[in-house]
Structures are given as structure tokens and as C-alpha cells.
Structure 1
């Protein structure tokens, strides 16, 4: 099964992708995580992406397409994968079409004010990558990772200013993907304001229709 998750920042793509990976036994490909890893390593790609990501912008199509093309050829993608954070533009979607035939596209939809509130409440473990949200998925001990005990941090692009910019960028550059995939007959929408378990159930039911 080859899937794409679409949604604005903090719509719940990462949370749902992690659950679907366990359910279906397929690879989770988060382009955001991959880019942040490059930034942390201080690679040439990471240095190019750092300032763009901090301001809420999108890295160039050429860079991200090259990363994804290489990633989906790895062994763990043989049984399928979930793309989380790619494609983000119609141009990227057209390039993805040339690489692979998708089975389904899931659009997790929620109002801007909900996503901004979630986004600014997010926390991440810098050691193991676990994610939390003070509003609906808090750590058992405030500020401490449940998994490894590391102190949690907030991403630099999870501020109100950067969040507003990222949501605006989603509407301008990524929202056209909804119509693109509706026209292909492979997209279905779920309500991103529902509880996490209900969203997972709705996605699985949609995938298995």
C-alpha cells in the first residue's frame, strides 16, 4: 500500500502516520524529519534548508524530490509506504506520479485556529523523535519524554509567527493538491478535529473500502 497524507501543519499527519505504519507494516517517510536530520548534521542540504524552514517556507522542489526519489527505493519500502509532508505542491505531485503509482491519498482537514493552537503546543524529543502535544497528547511528566526521559523541546518553526506563515503557505501551495487527487479519484477526507482514535478508525475504514 502506497499512501500520501495531506494536511496543514499540526493537522495530525505524523500521529496518524505512526499508527498506520504499525497497522499495515509499511514504511513511514516524513520529509520534515529527514530535512531536520540534515539540519542537525550540518550537511550542505541541511544548511540550505535551515533558514527556509525556520521562516515557515518550503524547500525547493528539486531538493525534496531528489530526497524522496532516493528514499522510496530503499528495502523497507518494498511492501509500501506512507508519505507524510510530500508532495506539498502540484509540481511535486506530478513528479511523484512519474516515480510511483499511489493507492490512496488521505486529507486530514481541520480549521486554521485549531491547527495553530496545536502547533504552538507541540513538543518533540530531540533524542528519540517522539512527539507530544500539551493540548491532547501530553507527556506523562511535563517536559520529559515518556520513551527515553530526555527533556522535550519545541521546534523553532512551531512559534505563532512561523505557524501562521506555514498555514498560509499550506493554503497557497499545498491545498491545490486536494483537487489534484480528487480528480484522480484516490483522495478521501477525514475530520482532523475528532479524537485521535476516531481519526485512525476513519482512515482505516476509508483505506479498506
Structure 2
């Protein structure tokens, strides 16, 4: 079994843990552990912490070390350096909004599984040639939504997607009903106001709503 195939199996196992992977932008690393515990308690174990704030890597370290049942990943991975820092912080998977030759080369050499982002069929085909069968569809709603993604199911039956970008609790079922969707990514589970106020019960409630959604 090739290294890429092993890592793709790891990605698939992570994506199948729940119908939604929360996409988290965290400004205060001290909020990471209670937030992650609330998500796990609500039935959402896979958590993508994006590299969009200085607190992100500290948040990943804390979740990886302290939250039982959490599978923490890193999002907004743009460079080989991002990938390596995420691995050192304890991330179990990485997510990128797109791909570059340098990032793909680094992913080939890294033990950290990558979920690369695509917005076109050509991008998806290029990654399929490299052995990627699980991809992020981003930005899902602006790029064409569930209708575009559903149109890819027949010509690209080998690929399964995690659409992310503009998806809400209301629109998630449209994506989850598609045969080529494993789960969706969404930021609605960890809204800024609840993170700032420490409303962990509110985040757990949002997680329970998301966990009750069904993927096909």
C-alpha cells in the first residue's frame, strides 16, 4: 500500500467521524480546550483549527494534549512550513484551500494526511492522478454549490468531497444528500460571540444539531 493511499484512508476515517467538521477561527488559545470539549460532547470529534490567527498553533497543541476524543486538524495550510508546524503541534490532519506544487511535494514527504482544496473539475482530476480520492470543495457555495458538486458525481465517481465555504445548518442537508459527499465543513458551530463569551453549552448545543444531520 502506498503512503498516499494510507494517508487517504486516514483522511476518510476522520471525515466519517461526523457529518460536520467545524472550521474554527480562534483568537485566544485559552478557549481551545473548553471549546473542543464542548464539540466532542456534542458528537463532533474532528475539529479543523485554521491558521488564520497567531493563537492557532497553541490551540492545536492544547487540544491535542488535553481533549480526549478530539481529532484536531489544521486548516488554511498554504506552505510546506505550515504543514510541518501543524505536524509538530500535534495535528492529525491538514486542510488546504487549494494546492501548489511545493505544498503537494511536502505532503508527499510528510506523515500528516492532507485534504486539499479544489474548485474545478480539472483541479480534482489532477489530484486524482496523484492518488487523492478525498478532497475539499472550496469555496463551496460561491464556486457553484451543491448543484455543481452533484454534477461531478457521475464523471468523477472515485472522488469524495468535504464541501466547505458558505454552508450553514440549513443548507448542509443539500450537500450531505449527494452521493459524493462524505461530510461538510462549517464555521457556524463556533461563532465568534460564543467563543468570546465562553458559551460552551451553546457550542455543545450547536454541535448536537450538526451531529444529528445525516450524510448519504
Under a length normalisation based on structure 1, what TM-score does the superposition of the two structures give?
0.33
Instruction: Identify which of structures 1 and 2 has the higher relative contact order when contacts are C-alpha pairs closer than 8 Å and 6+ apart.
Output: 1
